[in-house]
Structure 1
Amino acid sequence: MSSLSELLPDGGVKAERLLLRELAHRIDDELASAIDLVAQAADRCDGIEARATLASVQDRLEGHAQLHHALQMPQFTTTVDLAAYLKQLCRSISRSSLEDKGIALSLLLHPLQMSSERCWLLGMIVFELITGAVRHVSHCGAGAVRLEVWFTATSVACSITDNGSSDESRYREENRSIVETLAARLHGTVDVRGGPDGFRTVVTIPR
C-alpha cells in the first residue's frame, strides 16, 4: 500500500505535509475572498445582464473551490468509500469544467472501502484523465465522458472513456508522466487504447 510519505522527499515529511495543508488553506481563503467580492459586486449592480454575468462567475468560482477542496491531500489516514469519494469529486469536476461546455459525465461505481490516501491518489488520476478528455470532446459536438470502476478479489480497475479523438498518440501529448507516476505510486498499470468510438484509458491497481 502506498503512503503519502512515499510521495515526498526523505526527511521532513511532517513539515512537507504541514506546508501543503497550509498552502491549501490559503488557496481556500483566496477563493472564498474572490467569491465574496463577486457576490458583493452583484448585489450593487443594477443591470440585469451584468448581475446574471456576475452570478455565473460566482458559480464558476464556487465550483473551482469545491474541486480544489475535493483534491486536497487527506489530513488523516482513514478508510473511506471510494465510490462516494469519486462521486463527490466528479460532481465538482462537472460543475467547474464540464457543464459550461455541454459535456456529460456518467458514472458506474460500486462501493469499495479503501484508505483515504489511496482514494486521493486515484482521485488525482481521475481528475487528470477527465480534464484531458475534455480538451478533445468539447469540439466534436455532444461531448461525453464515462467513468467506470470495478474490482476483483485482487485488483481495482478505473476506466475513463470519451467520444473524442481516438488517436492513441494524444495521450503522449498531455500529462502522461503525472498519470503514470501516480499509478506507479499505487503499484498500478496504465493501459491506453483508441478505437472507432473514442478513447479509453484503464488504470489497474492492486486491491
Structure 2
Amino acid sequence: MPRWVTSIAVGLLATACAALIRFLLDTLVPGAAVFPLVFPAAMIATLFARWLAGATASTVSILFGWYYLYPVKNSFRFETSAQAVTMGSVIIAAAITVALAEMFRRSVHRATQERDRQIAERELFLEEFDHRVKNNFMLVASLLEMQRRRAGEGETAEALGSALSRVESIARAHRYLYRGGATPGTVDMAAYLNELCSALSDALFLRGAITLDCRSDHAALPRDRAVSIGLIANELVTNAVKHAFPGRDTGMISIRFEAAGAGWLLTVRDNGAGMPAETKARGRDGGLGHRLVEGFARQARGTIHTESGADGTVVTVQLEP
C-alpha cells in the first residue's frame, strides 16, 4: 500500500474517532465544543502517519463541523464577521498543530535513527572485542597446556592443570556474556554451569566411575559474580575428585544452584570418605584451593559453610541478593 494511502486512512480513522466522541458529547450538551476535538485528532494522526494524515483529519473535521454545526447548520455561510474570524482562527490553529506535530515526529525519528546507528556501532565494537578476548583466552590456555605437557607428572603439572581449568572457567563465562538472549552484562547461570560441568567431566576424565551431576535454576547474574561462582564450583569439584574418594573407583559429585529466599544457594556435595579430622579446620586441601574458594566467595558476596562426615562432604555457599 502506498504511504500516502496509509496516511489518508489514518487521518480518516482519527476523524471517525473524534466524530464518535463528538456525538457522545452532543447527547449530553448539544451544540457545545464544536472544534476542540480537531486538534488532538490532527496531532495524533500526524504523529502516527506524517503530516498528510494530520492534514486529512483536520480538514475533514473542520469541514464537517463548519457545514453541519457551525455557524449555520447545513451551510458554509457566516452570519457575522466574528464567526468568519473564529473559523479562520480554527483553521490556522489546526495548521500550526499539524506543523508542530510533524516537526516533533521528525525530530524523534532522527533521534531514533541516531540511536540505532550508535547501537549498531557498539555491537560491532563488542563483536570485535569479544573476538580479541576469546583469542587471548585461547592463547593463554594453549600456553598453559603446552607447559603442563612439558612438565610431565608431578606437582608442577598439577598446578598448571589447575590454572588451565580456572582460565577455561572464566572463558566460558565470557562466552555466555556476549551470547544473545540474556540481559546485557549478565550470564545465564543454568547454561553456564551446565557447560562448566561438562568441561570438568572431560578435563578430570570422569567416565562413569565418578559421576558429576549438575542442576541449576535459570538466573541472570552479573558477569563478575557469575565468574566467581563458576570458579568456586570448579575448585570444589576438582578438590573432591582429588581427595574425596581415596582407594575408590566410584563416586558421585553434585552441583546445585537454586533460589533461596531473596538470594541464591550454591551446593557442592560428594558421597566420598569425608575430610580427615586434621584438615577440617583448614579446609579440604589446606592450601591454595581453599584460599581461592574463600576469595571467590567474597567476590560473589557469599558465605561458605562446610559439613563433612563418613558419608561425604557438603559445601554450601549462601549468596546475597
2:220 is the counterpart of 1:106: no
Partner Cα separation in structure 2 for residue 133 and residue 184 of structure 1? 21
Q: How many angstroms does 1:176 deviate by?
A: 1.5
> Which structure shows the higher strand fraction?
1
Q: How many angstroms does 1:149 deviate by?
A: 1.3
1:69 to 165, 168, 172: 168
For structure 1, the 5+ residue unaligned runs are 1-19, 35-63
2:237 is the counterpart of 1:130: yes
Q: Deviations over 1:32-77 (max 9, x none)?
A: 989xxxxxxxxxxxxxxxxxxxxxxxxxxxxx98984343373867
How many residues align? The count is 159
TM-score, with structure 1 as normaliser: 0.65
2:305 is the counterpart of 1:191: yes
Q: How many angstroms does 1:160 deviate by?
A: 0.6
2:265 to 136, 153, 157: 157
Name the stretch that deviates more: 173-182 or 95-104: 95-104
Name the stretch that deviates more: 155-164 or 67-76: 67-76
**Contact 2:305/2:315, CA 8 A, preserved across alignment:** yes
Q: How many angstroms does 1:135 deviate by?
A: 1.0
Q: How many angstroms does 1:191 deviate by?
A: 0.2
Identity level (%): 23
Q: Deviations over 1:119-139 (max 9, x none)?
A: 111000000000000012343
- Identify the residue that residue 205 of structure 1 maps to in structure 2: 319
TM-score, with structure 2 as normaliser: 0.43
- Greater relative contact order: 1 or 2 (C-alpha under 8 angstroms, separation 6 or more)? 1
2:121 is the counterpart of 1:121: no
- Identify the residue that residue 92 of structure 1 maps to in structure 2: 199
Q: Deviations over 1:5-30 (max 9, x none)?
A: xxxxxxxxxxxxxxx98763422454
Higher CA-based Rg = 2
**Contact 2:303/2:319, CA 8 A, preserved across alignment:** yes
Letter in 2 for 1:128: E
Letter in 1 for 2:255: L
- Equivalent residue runs for 1:133-152 within 5 Å: 133-139=240-246, 140-152=248-260
- Identify the residue that residue 3 of structure 1 maps to in structure 2: none
